[in-house]
Structure formats: structure tokens, C-alpha cells
Amino acid sequence: LILSDLYLNKGSFWSISLIFGFLTALLLAIPYFKKGQTGLDRFRVISLMGVAGLFLGPGLFGTLNRMRSVDLVDKEFSVEQVIPLVEGRGIGLSDLESPDAYRLFLETDHGYLKLRMQPSKLISELKKGDQISITVCGGLLGFHFFDNDSLKKI
């Protein structure tokens, strides 16, 4: 998913959002238990709700996080490398002209940041050594993120 890269700490975001979805689904499964149910029927209800929670959890968690976000800081990065990505649409010449996404390698004071961004005019024009600025937002649940719109060339 391209949107997952817009979270600065995407590993813990995905872990916590999947756990959130699964536990929320299990809580929602409790009213469906009936007194005469067998263990197998209860297991089916729990598994169905658990799988549904795993699919819906990250979307709900991400929406909750972005509901009351606050702009924290404008961070400056130096572009190290821009790689266009073409992902499985075939091998025609037109496929090579329009990439599906770009892999950006950015250098910051704290090390390197690797991002996968959707194509845009600004990203396709970036070269090694260019300086860019990104507005980092703080989410309601504590996960910092940025939007594609906040990317500016300095």
C-alpha cells in the first residue's frame, strides 16, 4: 500500500492497527454468542469477526489517527535517490513511460528515510541533491504522518 509509507513509523502503525481491529472485532462478536451454541459455532463467529477486524482495523485506526491532526513541524530532507517503479502491468513501451510509484531515499539529520510515493509532477522532477520540505502532522493516536500535498521543493 502506498498510503502506509506516509506514516513515519509504519511498522508499529501496522502492528497496533491490526491488533486494534482484531480486538475490536472480538468485542463485537460477544453479542452473537447464544446459550445453546456449540464450541464450533462460537469458534466460527470468533474467526469470522476476527478476520473482518484484521481487514477493517487499519483503515479505521488510520482514520481515527487523522481526525484531529496538528501540524507539528516542517522537516527538510536532501534527496539521495529517486527510483521509478513499474509494477506488473506488462512489458509494453507505454508501461515504461509512466511509473506506478516512486521510491525516494531521503537523508535527514537522524539518518535515511525510504518512502514510496504516488507519481506527481514534483516527485518525477526530483534529482539527487535537491532539498525538499515536508510538513509532519501529529495524529490523535500519536502516530506522525504527512500528506503528499505537504511536499515542497526548496
pLDDT value at 5 more than 60: no
pLDDT of 4: 42
pLDDT interval class at 12 (50, 70, 90): confident
If you write DSSP's letter for every residue of 4-73 in order, what string do you get? GGGBTTHHHHHHHHHHHHHHHHHHHHGGG--TT--HHHHHHHHHHHHHHHHHHHHHHHHHHHHTT-EEEE
Q: What integer is the mean pLDDT of 47-76?
A: 84
User: Which three-class secondary structure state does DSSP give residue 108?
Assistant: strand
pLDDT of 3: 41
Mean pLDDT (the chain, rounded): 80
133 pairs with which residues across the strands? 76, 152
Q: What integer is the mean pLDDT of 1-8?
A: 49
**pLDDT single digits (tens) 68-114:** 777 778 888 889 998 888 766 555 555 556 777 888 888 877 777 88
The residue with cell 504527512 is: 146
Confirm if 108 and 131 have CB atoms less than 8 A apart. no
pLDDT of 26: 85
pLDDT of 7: 65
pLDDT value at 40 more than 50: yes
Least confident of 57-66, 76-85, 145-154: 145-154
pLDDT interval class at 1 (50, 70, 90): very low
Global confidence as pTM: 0.63
